[in-house]
Amino acid sequence: MTSTQRPPAEDRGERSGSESAQAAALHTGTSNLRTLVTRNMRQSGIYVAFVVIVALFAILTDGVLLSPGNITNIVLQYSYILVLAIGMVIVIIAGHIDLSVGSVVALTGAVSAVIVIQQGYAWWAGIVVALLVGVAVGAWQGFWVAYVGIPAFIVTLAGMLLFRGLTLQVLDNISLSPFPSEYQRVANGFLNGLLGGQGYDAFTLFIGAFAVAGYAISGFRTRVARIRYRQPVESFPLFVARVLAVGAVVMSFAWQLAHARGLPIVLIILGVLVITYAVVTKQTVFGRQVYAIGGNLSAALLSGVRVRTVNFWIFVNMGFLSAVAGVIYSSRSNGAQPAAGTMFELDAIAAAFIGGAAVTGGVGTVVGAMVGGLIMAVMSNGMQLMGVDQSVQSVVKGLVLMLAVAFDIWNKRRGGAVR
């Protein structure tokens, strides 16, 4: 082709279609708030509930909940549950469940402690070995679920007992501590002063602004794509309002962190994981196959999805993330204990269901699971600040989980009635 030749007609058509979609993204959409909220009631309800719960406990604790120090504590105390929730929501989307993650957290933390504290190896060697153990555990469970065909509930129930027993053997029924300072920084360290700042950490604010910009760009691209395929979107003014609202929340959060101890290292780890898995679940073949398996297994098989392979890697991934959570938890507690990780699986499952995952599979998002986990974290932290008895806290958490699942079932019946 010479420089004077015009590009093929289909290329010009694709380019003009993309340009027209971007132009339409500025002028099309609905401004009906009721339509926007009810279009996806499951996700809309999560965000509304989160805002209401934060506002409620902020009032009940006289603002202590939103103080810089307490926000930092929430991030540090519940980061490992949020990491587990990322893997758990993928497992649930595929129509499975994993009851063993708490025991795997304990096992990987124990292995890391033996390597670093007892054997005297470098702190990073303990992390590497813990991650390898987590992957091996995931492969073990994935084999029985994917290739032998045993239901995940049974396999992981057996795994919960098996890996708890291995933890006791690895630790010889004793606790090991302390870890070296470098290891402790994984869950307790902060990045502060990299870009300066008078009375605040400028780097934390920069990261917050970067996250808002990324959210705005990603949201606009998604909007353009939905318009290109003639899918409903909100009007452009409402889109801008949504971005500004999210930006205000994120920057407020960053401002509080910047005035405390800076940016927690564990928050960076969590942010990288959330972004990575949000992309994997939404924009990769593997992610679409996970949704297909959970949504309609028979259709997935007929479509050529390698169901066994996908299921196997789902559990390998869950084992890996359990190991990450194990490293974070052992770093946070500065040691390994035989009883570590108890009930963590229930917190992770609750975060996924409260975040919009469906009991029957095929529905759920990583971001939704994060919001669900934050709802649990805010409720727990708020009740602790109020001095609420632990037994009452358990009752409240159980009721919230029950209501979340009931809401999912009601929403599904409502959708069926509409159709």
What is the tens place of the pLDDT at every residue in 310-345? 999 999 999 999 999 999 999 999 999 999 999 899
Is the CB of residue 29 less than 8 Å from the CB of residue 234? yes
pTM of the model: 0.85
How many angstroms separate the Cα of 286 from the Cα of each of 90, 137, 199, 334, 362?
A: 11, 21, 45, 36, 14
What is 45-189+264-386's CATH topology?
ABC transporter involved in vitamin B12 uptake, BtuC (1.10.3470)
Is the CB of residue 314 less than 8 Å from the CB of residue 308? no
- 407: tokens are 């809401």
144-174 pLDDT, tens per residue? Answer: 999 999 999 999 999 999 999 999 999 999 9
Predicted local confidence at residue 291, as pLDDT = 95
Residue 246 scores a pLDDT above 90: no
Nearest one of 129, 139, 131 to 159, comparing CA atoms: 139
Predicted local confidence at residue 285, as pLDDT = 94
Nearest one of 82, 81, 59, 80 to 385, comparing CA atoms: 59
Q: State whether the Cα torsion 375-377-379-381 is positive or negative.
A: negative
Residue 247 scores a pLDDT above 70: yes
Nearest one of 250, 258, 265, 266 to 196, comparing CA atoms: 258
Q: What are the phi and psi torsion angles at 336 (to 5°)?
A: -125, 135
Torsion of CA 211, 213, 219, 222, to 10 degrees: -100
**Angle between helix 307-333 and helix 181-188 axes, rounded to 10 deg:** 110
Cα separation, 240 vs 408, in Å, equals 29
Q: Which residue has the higher pLDDT, 196 or 248?
A: 248
Cα separation, 84 vs 182, in Å, equals 23
163-215 pLDDT, tens per residue? Answer: 999 999 999 999 998 999 999 999 998 887 777 666 678 888 888 899 889 88
Nearest one of 336, 360, 326, 291 to 171, comparing CA atoms: 336
Residue 10 scores a pLDDT above 50: no
Nearest one of 373, 322, 374, 321 to 351, comparing CA atoms: 373
* Domain boundary assignment for the chain: 45-189+264-386
